[in-house]
Structure 1
């Protein structure tokens, strides 16, 4: 039986202040808002792509502050994104996760742009699985990473009982075949709401949702309806609201993540910003050559020291 109780989790964005400094307080405040509205599980530092802009120190700070928060419900689950371009740093993050009692599992992604071979990908994943000592959901996302984890590699990795799921954002058509070779309770997560009804029909039994950041009640109704085989759910008002939340900016002028953050408020205040170039609307956002003020100051100090 999978050690994770909830098949639906919300992939939450990461808050940054106007100077692009990590804001763990607002990130956690948003998660607590989701908890109050019935959400039982979230994915932090993953799926939105922002994890690759965070330093190892920032990721550890986020882990620390999640563990320090005392308002968690007893059945609330926190998953943490585990991926990186520098392997030894990603191993260090995995070790930090292994020591954090607040983290219930990880979504193990692969580094972007590098286009790993299948052997490299398997060894990378095995190293992290052995180090993090948490339930693992593999994340295959060829559009973001530039390579597609093969069925053979997937089966090699899921032979480890700590691997309890696969978030498949690649070829959804191969899930029925993979299901014949996995345990009955193995989870196949849909990455986002696109083609969701079709994916459930193919055998997907988990959902990693972005739209749920906005339509919290609706996504729960929709997910339960799909799992129960409710054929009317795709014509419901909840479904329409979900599709609007998943579509993003109706004017197509900004990308999804900046738009999403604009829709989220915490106690009536904005959620936070993105790190550039996400959300960049002018060539000189900060008035300092588009460099955040605290970094511009550091650069000026470094230049002075060099002189």
Structure 2
């Protein structure tokens, strides 16, 4: 299974009452495929506010996304959590919904050791026929899935790649030693070009909600050998890459990108507590990124 090089970790649109807005979700999926040129979408990942979605909402999202995409792109279900048994059950439900793969975040808060994480991911992978992408994001989970453990997991047949957010040193170490078929994605938009230069495969992105078409052009320029154009496009994208997370101080994802989508005419609503809306000053900064 090739999920492509540009994947968006999709936000979950909410209505005024904080419930999933299905009409807005459909419009967003269409835009991410047709306008932003994504190869795959992650549904109910952490950018989709998975910690505040019920399992019933998640499975409804998986089913809806598969139907709406209609084969135009791959749908990857965010089924990972810090509860191995629950992750297995949700993975089975996602498989029944017809998704193309799953994304498993490292188990947050529990702080398992490397062997515990290995067994966690192995157990989930063995419960499904779907291809599995790992997701290592120490800044949010409080733990680091080491390069060595990632490489052990890469030996499992249906663990096909990773979304790596532990920094360039660890990403490069994984790329250098992983099987050729194992795809390494960055989860940090600002390192898209450097990840490709290291030999990584692509990006699982937040910024591609709003500048996906340009990011696709950047990736295609680099992979076709036009490094000068890729560098130019990277410089043009860079303020958005950084600004969506640092506007003008760190703002929890997906607060900024949801507001940025509204500036493009895609109303996806607010965020669920404990997240809160962007302040007036933060909104002004986000607007400045697109002027």
Normalising by structure 1, we get a TM-score of 0.81
Q: Distance in 1 between matches of 2:157 and 2:189?
A: 28
Matches within 5 A, 1:199-218: 199-218=195-214
Indicate yes or no: 2:12 matched with 1:14: yes
- Matched with 1:152 is 148
The 10-residue stretch of structure 1 (34-43 or 207-216) with the greater mean CA deviation from structure 2: 34-43
Rounded to whole Å, the distance in 2 between the matches of 1:173 and 1:254 is: 25
CA distance in 1, matches of 2:259, 2:277: 13
1:187 to 166, 175, 183: 183
Q: 1:240 and 1:182 mapped to 2: Cα distance? A: 29
Cα distance 1:224–1:22, how it changes in 2: closer, same or farther (>3 A)?
same
RMSD between aligned residues:
2.5
Task: Summarize the Cα distance change of 1:220–1:83 in structure 2 as closer, same or farther, 3 Å threshold.
Answer: same
Tell me which moved more, 246-255 or 74-83: 246-255
Give the Å deviation of 1:266.
10
> Do the aligned partners of residues 12 and 206 (structure 1) sit closer, same or farther apart at CA in structure 2, a change above 3 Å counting?
same
Aligned to 2:189, what secondary structure does the other structure show? coil
Distance 1:197 1:225 in 2: 10
Match of 2:238 among 230, 240, 243: 243
Match of 2:276? 279
- Bigger Cα displacement from structure 2, 157-166 vs 45-54: 45-54
Mind listing any 5+ residue stretches in structure 1 that lack a counterpart?
A: 283-307
> CA separation of 1:258/1:181 partners in 2, compared to 1, >3 Å: closer, same or farther?
closer
Look up the match of 2:217: 221
Q: Which runs of 5+ in 2 are unaligned?
A: 280-291
Instruction: Pick closer, same or farther for the CA change 1:60–1:16 going to 2, 3 Å.
Output: same
Separation (CA, whole Å) in 1 of partners of 2:39 and 2:48: 22
Q: Where does residue 113 of structure 1 map in the other structure?
A: 109
Contact 1:106 1:135 in 2 (8 A): yes
Structure with the bigger percentage of helix = 2
* In structure 2, C-alpha distance between the alignment counterparts of 1:82 and 1:4, rounded to whole Å: 19
SS in 2 for 1:270: coil
SS in 2 for 1:215: helix
Secondary structure at 1:279's aligned position in 2?
coil
Matched with 2:118 is: 122
Which whole-Å deviations, capped at 9, do the CAs of 1:245-277 have from their partners, x for residues lacking one? 222264448544222111214994521111123
Q: Distance in 2 between matches of 1:151 and 1:231?
A: 28
Aligned equivalent of 2:80: 83
Q: Deviations over 1:148-197 (max 9, x none)?
A: 11233222211111011111111422344433433223211011212333
Match of 1:50 in 2: 49
1:120 deviation in Å? 1.6
Aligned to 2:38, the other structure's residue is in SS state coil
In the alignment of these two chains, the number of paired residues is 276
Q: TM-score, normalised by structure 2?
A: 0.85
Distance 1:124 1:204, change over 3 A: same
Larger Rg: 1
Contact 2:43 2:65 (C-alpha < 8 Å) held by counterparts: no
Shift of 1:87: 2.9
**Equivalent position of 2:288 in the other structure:** none
Q: Does 1:166 align with 2:165?
A: no
Change over 3 Å in CA distance of 1:267–1:242 after alignment to 2: closer
